Amino acid sequence: MPPDFETQLRAASLRVTRPRLAVLAALRDHPHVDTDTVIALVRAAQPTVSHQAVYDVLRALTDAGLVRRIQPSGATARYETRVGDNHHHVVCRSCGAIADVDCAVGHAPCLTASDDQGFVVDEAEVVYWATCADCATARNSQ
């Protein structure tokens, strides 16, 4: 495992364990996957890791800010290791594929609400709904 996973875990005051390293590696290599996929990826590398251990690891990593949990409307929760920035997501209405989308211009323009109602905004979540290229091609060839 890359030593930076170990460094990240220690910096978050988490013990370095094989399940935590395996979950981080799975999410690094397969961003935006659901819990069942994470379990399958982790168990392919470490068959003795229980479902509950993966759930516990995902919760601990999310609570520590090492993993981000996203849940577009009508979809199951997904996880990614890209944290610490204010990026958004584009979701295919047909197949459910998800990709990262950076803020359009300048310094996090999405954090400037037209009327913040007195709140101090520190994060914005934007989901773009679309049709991915593969689904658009399949639809056009029918």
The per-residue pLDDT for range 92-134, each reduced to its tens digit, is 999 999 999 887 654 555 667 778 899 887 777 888 899 999 9
pLDDT band at 3 (very low <50, low <70, confident <90, very high): low
The per-residue pLDDT for range 23-53, each reduced to its tens digit, is 999 999 999 999 999 999 999 999 999 999 9
- DSSP lists the bridge partners of residue 90 as 99, 128
pLDDT band at 85 (very low <50, low <70, confident <90, very high): confident
What predicted TM-score, i.e. pTM, was given to this entire model? 0.84
Q: Which helix (H) or strand (E) holds 44?
A: helix 35-45
Query: Does the pLDDT value for residue 1 go beyond 50?
Result: no
Better-predicted residue by pLDDT, 86 or 60: 60
Across the beta sheet with 33-34, what order do the strands follow?
33-34, 78-80, 68-70
